[in-house]
Structure 1
């Protein structure tokens, strides 16, 4: 081809003029300080995320979530407990200034202020400094929030009755009950059902009856004299308020429940 009038330049409309901007910048002049988001930084993030995900799945398989008995909305004695990451909120609602008539303060106002402060952090701290000592306000807020969560979680764990919680949520096999038995009617009409439950599974106020092995005579003695252990009255005396005939029916019925396995 000869230079001159016959030379023409043809552009290809399929190639965008800004296509060259997609090429990652050369960061070799700043080693270890910055890098291209794609694919260098994002690939590292995915790798770390995959490691944590695999570790979490292994923990889930090795330690499955504990199950409690079937939820009973009529059981007013059951005390629900949130998961560990909400224990600090659970503990906060126990204090006088955040419970009762001030429940709105502990449940809405204080968490709302904390979340609002977190959302305002980018606007409160516009400095490019990365060292914590050079960023006093964000560092102070973060340390305050962290210390508060640790303290409240610790207080919740220490002050909670874990043995009682385990007992109230324990899965107990239901007894095979003959509801036509006269003793069952006595059981339902007396205060027994309040403490020991409709299915004899027990409540925080009374022990389960299935599998205890008590005889009819022992049941009668307990119903009349109660149970005391280490100076503590576990079951009050004269809990049964009825005739001797009803007591015999109840004792025979309960002894059949207590000897089931």
Structure 2
């Protein structure tokens, strides 16, 4: 005898009659289409969640988050990059219909509509079937979302200059710059220098660490005037005397050449 089949119940006048229309039917009446939430369904969810949790823990242990140098608020050329799971939104903001005057559309409207549609799937597709091909609305929205995320993520990875991104955040050896030196004051007055090499002179998105190379004062002056590689010429705005002071300051690794601290450090 099946559960709940062929059984007769005897009423008792002392027990009030209750409406049983809201009581769900027995699982045996839907063979292969449903199952008990506890423990069958919940156990499967826990097993799948455990596999993903272990996978993320392994990735976090074997590939720790990369660290970059200390943030420099004066480095206007620094381009921040989001984590990989937000790259598709980062790429979306590069298109004309979602950037510039239409940034709100790319940052709020399109993601809001997309994620809102996914949240409404249970109400848009209320079919009892569990097979994907029997639920075209829900399956279609999910496939569209997955395809869009994969495409935009791929485009973001392919278009971005990852070498420049690594250089702009590279951790460099700390250099104690003498902020009281005349050369430092000259450097701070040069907006073109700061925009490329950063306010701390340790490099930015467009320029390297100023103290990374062993140039003497004359070589530094020649580079400032005539440029080098991607560095354009004629960017210095100042007198010849200021150019000389800045060149000696850079050649002396950020120290005032008059006090000889840089030479003493080298000898040590």
TM-score (norm: length of structure 2): 0.75
What are structure 1's unaligned runs of at least 5 residues? 1-24, 229-233
Work out whether residues 125 and 138 of structure 2, in 8 Å CA contact, stay in contact via their aligned partners in 1.
Answer: yes
Instruction: Encode CA deviations 1:175-204: one digit per residue, 9 max, x unaligned.
Output: 222233332232223343343222211122
Q: Confirm whether residue 239 of structure 1 aligns to residue 235 of structure 2.
A: yes
Work out whether residues 202 and 210 of structure 2, in 8 Å CA contact, stay in contact via their aligned partners in 1.
Answer: yes
TM-score (norm: length of structure 1): 0.76
How many residues align structurally? 230
Q: Which residue of 2 aligns with 1:197?
A: 198
Instruction: Encode CA deviations 1:31-60: one digit per residue, 9 max, x unaligned.
Output: x87654333443443344333323322221
Q: Which residue of 1 aligns with 2:161?
A: 161
Q: What's the CA shift for 1:99? A: 1.7
CA separation of 1:214 and 1:225: change in aligned 2, threshold 3 A: same
Q: Which residue of 1 aligns with 2:225?
A: 224
Q: Which residue of 2 aligns with 1:215?
A: 216
Q: Which residue of 2 aligns with 1:257?
A: 253
Question: Whole-Å Cα distance in 2 between the matches of residues 208 and 46 of structure 1?
Answer: 50
Question: Whole-Å Cα distance in 2 between the matches of residues 85 and 212 of structure 1?
Answer: 37
Q: Which residue of 2 aligns with 1:42?
A: 42
Q: Which moved more, 1:147-156 or 1:74-83?
A: 74-83
Structure with the greater alpha carbon radius of gyration: 1
Instruction: Encode CA deviations 1:204-254: one digit per residue, 9 max, x unaligned.
Output: 2322112311112211221222113xxxxx222233344443333222211
What are structure 2's unaligned runs of at least 5 residues? 1-25, 255-261
CA separation of 1:242 and 1:113: change in aligned 2, threshold 3 A: closer
Q: Which structure's relative contact order is higher, taking Cα pairs within 8 Å and 6+ residues apart?
A: 2
Aligned-residue CA RMSD in angstroms?
2.7
Q: Which moved more, 1:45-54 or 1:215-224?
A: 45-54
